[in-house]
Structure 1
Amino acid sequence: MTADVPHTAPAPRATGRPGDASPFALGLLLRRAHWHAATVMAEALRPLGIELRHFAVLIVLVDRGPTVQRDLAAATGSDKAGIMRVVDDLERRGLAVRKTVPGDRRVRAVEITPQGVELFDAAHVAAAPLAERLVADLEPGEPERLMELLTRFADPAGGGA
């Protein structure tokens, strides 16, 4: 004898494929897109001797100027220990320096050096053809639209990182 149990459709499966109805699909697709882009961009940075985590800090320093480590961690999605290791690496390479913040001896601001700016510029030259390869399968105008959507998604308040 079978009980009268209402038949319900199984929960959608999270596969990360386009059209997946799962509430987890967007996160999975973003994760896959991140890994794909990170792999391609790491290829551009490898000959320069830095990793994406280093370059992320250089981007913030070029954009904002001298920045305290706490703010670097927030801007790059790193933790305190991780950002300290990255800044240590950049200092050893002569790409950034820590400087005392006037009025607070305990706080250090990180500043990009002229060598850091040179490497930053070289990385952009090296990355340009790889970035084009990343969006080669998109239609005209779609790369710009994708950047616009991802920017709004990553920062819904529009306040910057």
Structure 2
Amino acid sequence: MTADVPSSRATDRPGDTSPFALGLLLRQAHWRAAAVMTEALRPLGIELRHFAVLIVLMDRGPTVQRDLAATTGSDKAGVMRAVDDLERKGLAVRRTVPGDRRVRMVEITPAGVELFDAAHVAAESPARHLVAGLEPEEAERLKELLTRIAYPPAGEA
């Protein structure tokens, strides 16, 4: 006995009408972008997980370590390993928080800022190549739409 196959199966095919298609396309796009950016960061000696922490530190300044997990989309153990690596490389430091010795604040170092800047230069060409099939206004619109999906207004999550 064979089951009927629904006409809107969730696949990675362009034009899939399944309600799951958007998630699958986002995942495929993420994997492709992650692979491209991983290659751009490799010569600098860091991985995307390290760069995610550096982005937060550049954006927010010194940040409590536990807040890095939620901000980077990682778990606590993953963030601790990334911060350990950054600290070993001299790109970030942990400091105690006055009044609570159990809490650690993570801060980017001057070497971390230099690497952050170098990573942006290294990623420019691969990032352009990633969206080469889009018109410039389409690439900007895509970023805008993805931002709205990733960060919905309060109450819509």
- Matched with 1:142 is 138
Among residues 34, 39, 55, which one is paired with 2:30 in the alignment?
34
- Matched with 2:57 is 61
Which whole-Å CA distance do the structure 2 matches of 1:37 and 1:73 have between them?
21
Q: 1:116 to 1:9 in 2, by over 3 A?
A: closer
Partners of 1:58 and 1:120 within 8 A in 2: yes
- Matched with 1:153 is 149
- Matched with 1:4 is none
Q: What is the TM-score with the length of structure 1 in the denominator?
A: 0.90
- Matched with 2:125 is 129
- Matched with 1:3 is none
Partners of 1:68 and 1:109 within 8 A in 2: yes
- Matched with 1:92 is 88
- Runs of at least 5 residues in structure 1 that lack an aligned partner in the other structure: 1-7
CA-atom RMSD, angstroms? 1.6
- Runs of at least 5 residues in structure 2 that lack an aligned partner in the other structure: none
Tell whether 2:51 aligns with 1:48: no
Partners of 1:69 and 1:108 within 8 A in 2: yes
Give the fraction of aligned pairs with identical amino acids, expressed as a percent: 80
- Matched with 2:6 is 10
| One-letter code aligned to 1:71 | D
Q: What is the TM-score with the length of structure 2 in the denominator?
A: 0.92
Which whole-Å CA distance do the structure 2 matches of 1:136 and 1:64 have between them?
31
| One-letter code aligned to 1:130 | P
Moved over 2 A (4+): 8-12
Which whole-Å CA distance do the structure 1 matches of 2:50 and 2:111 have between them?
14
Counterpart of 1:137 in 2: which secondary structure? coil
| One-letter code aligned to 2:34 | A
Which whole-Å CA distance do the structure 2 matches of 1:91 and 1:140 have between them?
38
Which whole-Å CA distance do the structure 2 matches of 1:158 and 1:24 have between them?
24
Q: 1:128 to 1:27 in 2, by over 3 A?
A: same
Partners of 1:152 and 1:158 within 8 A in 2: no
CA drift of 1:111 comes to: 0.2
Number of aligned residues: 152
